[in-house]
Structure formats: structure tokens, C-alpha cells
Amino acid sequence: MALIRAAFCAALFTFGTALATWAQDVTLTSRDGSVEISGTLLGFDGEFYRVETIYGELTVDGSGVSCDGPGCPSLTDYVAEVDFSGSSTMAEVLMPALIEGFALRSGYMVRREERDDTHFDYVLLDGETGRTRGRLGFRVTTTDEGFADLLANEADLVMALREIRADERQRAAEAGMGDMTARNRSRVLALDAMVPIVAPGNPVRTISTPMLARVFSGQVTNWSMLGGPDAPISLYLPAEGSGLAQAAEDRLLAPVGFELTDGISRHDRSSALARAVVVDPFGLGLASYAETGSARTLTLTGSCRFSLEANRTTIKTEDYPLTSPMFLYTPARRLPKLAREFLAYARGPAAQIVIRRVGFVDQAPEEIPLNEQGDRFANAIAASGEEVGLEDLQAMIDRLRPLARLTTSFRFETGSTRLDAQSRSNVAQLARELEAGTYDARRLVFVGFSDGEGPAEGNQRIAARRAEAVRDAVVAAAETAALDRVQMEVEAFGEILPMACDDSAWGRQVNRRVEVWVR
């Protein structure tokens, strides 16, 4: 009886499994027969029923009730079912590799079953008995469609190559799915980047981010304006609705108020896009870093002569301005145990190895010694002026010389003090490392940097506040860590060590950061 009453209280929460295909009438009866709940079964995760009733959506512990009706699942032969929808890049490459790695590590046999051109399942079988333990269903589509499926209760997890947009976030909250940007609602599985690509024979080697935006908005239409031949530029992008294409609009064009031009050639797969650019001597595309094929990537540059090349390190640190995290979004409801185990595996060290092997950038922290950061310090010397002199540079180098930089960095949303999505994931990752004792008896220094807008003294104060905010966020997240075993400090150098030119919103965004240095 108490259990059923508790279930009514649990209706205030919106967890459960999104197995909408079950949608059949059931009656749940308490063991003493005194309380009955009738409604439509929305899901069962092996432990809890989720039922739509006249009281709203209720979640009921299966151990305290009996189930009657055509929709009642088998408690002894339960098969966990989880549905994924969204990004084709993630569905075709990343997720299959992670599922096979998870199955191998967990003692499951795995079988892939094709349903049609856009749907397939991974069936997980008990390694000893051969009995089916789980079915992971995939719909290969776009980030847009993935969020639409989640809102329609046709998916449990969304594979996304961009952050959830404000309108999607609002609709999810209104549908009782919680704040999709809250902790544990979104997680970064791996990192990718949007890279400008050309045919191998194209003479152009570099392009600035502002110029790239002007090209894709149709303001620059000839290669001669980029230092190339007198020929029209043909443009290539992923399909409309894909996360990568939308990230290009959100992060490349929106900050300067531009919109995509007409006449862009679209491709469902990044690999197909790269192949199309390779055979077009006058083509320019934005492709996934992991799927450039034999196309050549252009280095991003600026008027201050800084250059930023997409590679594992610059993407992992977010120093490359067009980094694209690969997200899994989950609503605020309970997932089957199998799904929870998979998500735990996906952020562990074994999964990071798998991510690297399939060509994406993992999130395992790496240490970069000072002597491997020559380009950054050369840029700092080139950018020095009246407000930042040689003495400031020397003081910074003396402070950092005994330390190594972690690839774990933190940046903030545009015009906000809130950490961006990748940085929020980095907070959780660094907190887990602290809880595991990885940095016991070591020194962590949170180092704040700023852009060059405004007085240098004020920028240093702002950078210090950001560094303190990041340190505090990590400490708050590391709930079980023995923090007395770790020496944590805060330092700030303001605008002394720029990563990019300050002449664009993208450059300033890259420069405003908090790095973590370790000894």
C-alpha cells in the first residue's frame, strides 16, 4: 500500500523508458489487493512500470504490484529495449563501434539486424545461454529528426551533432522531459569538428573564419578573392537538418548575422561530401574532421597572422574554433539497466580507445608539456604590445614552466557566464578523475585567459573570476573526492596568451577560456 502511494508521488518525476510501441492497457494491483492503477503502459525497464493514467504519468515499482492486461511484459524473459534516433554520422560509425566494444567488455554476443535503409537493430545476447538480453534500435536520420522523435516519445536517446536549440529545449520541458541541458541530460560522447576542405590540387591553403562565413553566405563567390584562380566557388554542405550543417549556421554564420546562400550542394553523408569536393577543382565544403577522405583541409587564419589547424589536440582543447561535440541527449526519466550500463561504459577509458580507433577525438585527458607549445608562445610574443609587455610574458612562462597543460579546457557560451556544452561535460569528466584519485598528491592550477577587448587589468580580473568559477564547479561536482589530497590553485593571465585574432567573434570566443595545468 505504501509502495503504491509512493508511486503517486513519483508522478511528479518524469523518468521511465520511452517504449511507446507498448501503449496497451494494463492494471497494476498492490500485493494486498487494496489499490489498483489502470492505464496505458508506456514502458517497462525490468524494474519499474511507466503508466499513463487519469492521474497523469505514474512510475510504479514492479516488485510491489502484479500486472494484468495484454500489455503486461514478462518479468522472467524481459528484454531491454532502447531506441536511438538522430545523426547519421553517429549512427553509422561511432555508435556501432561503441556497442560492439560494450558487448565485448560485458560478455555479450552481438548481432546486427537490418530493418530497412534507415533502421537497424543491435541485439545483445547472453554469452553463455544465448538468450536475448537487449535490443538497441537505431533510426539513421538527422539531428532535427532525432529531437522530433524524442518529443514524439518514439526515441529514448538523441544522437546530435549540435546543442539542443532553445525551442526544442522548451518543448521538451513542456512535455515533462526536464531540462535537456541539465547535468546527466546531455553528455558528450566524442568530439568532431567542421573543417573547410578543397580538392588536393587547389592552390589555396588557408582561409580566415570571417571569410569562410562570407563565402557560405554568398558574399564572396570567386576563388580570386581568396588568393586562388579566377573561378567561381562551388559550395558543399551536409544535408539540411543534419547537426553538422546546423552547427555551421549556428556557430559560423549566426554570430555575424549572415544566412546560408542558395545553390549549395547537399549530401546525406560527410564521406560523400568529401568525395564530391575531391573531384571538383573549384569546390569548397564543410565536412566532418573524421570523414575528409582524400580532400585537403584549409588552415584557419586571421589578420593577425595566427593560424589554427584542426587536429586531435586543438579539437580536444577546443582551441580550434569550429569544434563540434557529439552529444547523446536523454530525457529526465529512467532508462533500462542495460542502457545505463552502456552510458557508463561510453564515458570510461575503454570507450575512449574505441573512439580514437574509428577516427573521432576522444575526451581522455592528455598532458602537453610546455616545450610542445611553441606556436602558442610565439603567437603571444607576436601579439604583445603596450599593455602586455615582455616582462608579463616572462612572468607567465616562469609560472607555467614546471607544469603541463591538460587538454581539458573550459569555455563559456557567447555573452554568458555559463559554461558551453563541451565544458560542462569536461567538469563532470575532471570531477570523476578527482573522485578516482587520479590527481592525488598532485597540483592542479586553473588558469584564466581573456580576449584583448578592453583594458588589460580588467581582463585579468575577469579571467581570474572565470577560473575561480570553473574550479568551484569542479569541486561541487566531485562529491566523493578526497580533495584534501589535491592541491588546487587559481591563476589568471588575462590577454597574455591569445589563441586567435581578436578581430572576430570566433577569435574572441576561443581566447576566453580556462585551462588546467598540472604538476
Residue with grid cell 538497441, as numbered in its chain:
136
Query: Tell me, what's the pLDDT at 290?
Result: 87
Q: Report the SS3 class of residue 36.
A: strand
Residue for grid cell 568551484: 472
Q: Alpha helices of 152-232 — where are they, by DSSP H?
A: 166-174, 209-216
Tell me the percentage of the chain whose pLDDT exceeds 70: 93
Given a cut of 60, whether residue 6 has pLDDT beyond it is: no
User: How is 132-163 classified by DSSP, letter by letter?
Assistant: EEEEEEEEEE-HHHHHHHHHTT--SEEEESSP
| Number of neighbours of residue 362 by Cβ within 10 angstroms | 20
Q: What residue has cell string 541527449?
A: 329
Q: Looking at residues 258-278, what average pLDDT do you find?
A: 92
Instruction: Please report the domains of the chain, with CATH numbers, ordered by start residue.
Output: 2-68 (2.30.30.100), 80-188+327-345 (3.40.190.10), 192-316 (3.40.190.10), 365-518 (3.30.1330.60)
User: Helix (H, G, I), strand (E, B), or coil: what is residue 108?
Assistant: strand
β-strand partners of 431? none
**pLDDT value, residue 384:** 65
Q: Give the pairing of strands 56-61 and 157-160.
A: unpaired
pLDDT in tens, 363-393: 888 999 888 877 777 767 766 666 667 777 8
Amino acid at 169: R
- Cβ pair 11, 58 in contact under 8 A: yes
pLDDT tens by residue, 283-334: 999 999 988 989 999 999 877 777 888 999 889 988 888 888 999 999 887 7
Which three cell numbers, joined as nine digits, stand for 258?
549572415
Which residue would you say has higher pLDDT here, 443 or 390? 443
Q: Which of 39, 36, 45 is nearest to 15 (CA)?
A: 45
- Res. 13: pLDDT tops 70: no
Model confidence band, residue 14 (pLDDT cutoffs 50, 70, 90):
very low
Cα–Cα distance between 287 and 212 in angstroms, integer? 13
CA distance 514 to 469: 10
Which tens digits make up the pLDDT trace of 392-437?
788 888 888 899 999 999 998 766 678 888 888 899 889 999 999 9
Average pLDDT, integer, range 218-243: 94
Nearest Cα residue to 471 out of 495, 490, 498:
490
Asked whether the CA dihedral 114, 150, 141, 356 is positive or negative, the reply is negative
- Lowest mean pLDDT, pick from 171-175, 236-240, 455-459: 455-459
* Closest by CA position to 83, among listed 54, 29, 121: 121
Averaged pLDDT score across all residues of the chain: 87
- pLDDT-based confidence at 15, cuts 50/70/90? very low
pLDDT computed for residue 274 by the predictor: 94
The set of cell numbers assigned to 165 is: 536549440
The winner for highest mean pLDDT among 42-51, 225-234, 246-255, 489-498 is: 225-234
Question: Is residue 31 pLDDT above 80, yes or no?
Answer: yes
Rg (CA), the chain: 25
Q: Which residues, 6 or more positions from 203, have their beta carbon under 8 angstroms from its beta carbon?
A: 227, 228, 229
Q: Helix (H, G, I), strand (E, B), or coil: what is residue 498?
A: coil
